[in-house]
Amino acid sequence: MNDLIAPRRLSGKIALITGAASGIGRATAKRLASEGATVIIADRNVEGGHVVVDQITESAGDAYFLEVDLATEDQIEDFAQRVATQFAALHILVNNAFVNIRGFIETKEWRENWEPGVAIGLKAPALLTELLLPLMKKDGASIINISSDGGFRGRPGMWVYDAMKAAIVSFTKSAATELVQYGVRVNAIAPGWIVTEIHTLNHPDPEARMKELAEMDTDHNIMRRLGMPEEVASGIAFLASDEASFITGTTLHIDGGRVGLKTNRPPQ
């Protein structure tokens, strides 16, 4: 963590990030901690979660790990009770956890993925918002829901995932109107293609593949490269801070100009 690029905007804040054992969630936890927040790492990946806690504490940050399976409503309720027992308030909630669901309508594969897609991608953020709201009402809070560029585009074989990400945007807007009375701001982030472990799971050399993706010249967006988790974490840190005090109910696209812009290579 680099203090030169991470002012202590979040000192005294308590932040909870779901799916924080890897990828965007991990980068977000480390960034928020570097800005002074106490971070709660929420994930079903126990080993990975503790690794992130160790990385943060080694850099003089403050972090805790709490295990939870967001596909199960009972576990979410138990998790919320544990958070309320250990912490007096909650100032930042980042609903980041997701399942990378694929399935073409014609093949019926989507039927197998529908339930976990809805449970983790939409129901869990809503349940956590409901159950943790008493903690967030105390001092006001910022909720950041992670959508995707897929929620704004059509893609073959990805309709369940994309539908959940589009629904997150709608949920964000509705929640913003309901929770503004409590001083709770609700926004969304829509990342484009970000270089994370999800894209290297079946690769024989994940480290080499990560390097290849990070250096790839691509037509995926007008900036002609893929994004890094730390770049998404920067946007989340901004929305979580008082610098975004007049921003609610909106979606910040961090996608290199992917959504709404042509991705053709500009003339030489």
Residues carrying an active site annotation: 161
CB 99 within 8 A of CB 115: no
User: What is d(CA 41, CA 22) in angstroms, rounded to the nearest whole number?
Assistant: 10
For residue 254, the cross-strand partners are 191
22 φ, ψ (degrees, to nearest 5):
-160, 170
Of 115, 113, 198, which is closest to residue 157 (Cα–Cα)? 113
For residue 63, the cross-strand partners are 39
In this structure, is the dihedral angle defined by the CA atoms of residues 52, 56, 57 and 59, taken in order, positive or negative? Answer: positive
Cα–Cα distances in Å, from 221 out to 58, 151, 200, 261? 36, 16, 20, 8
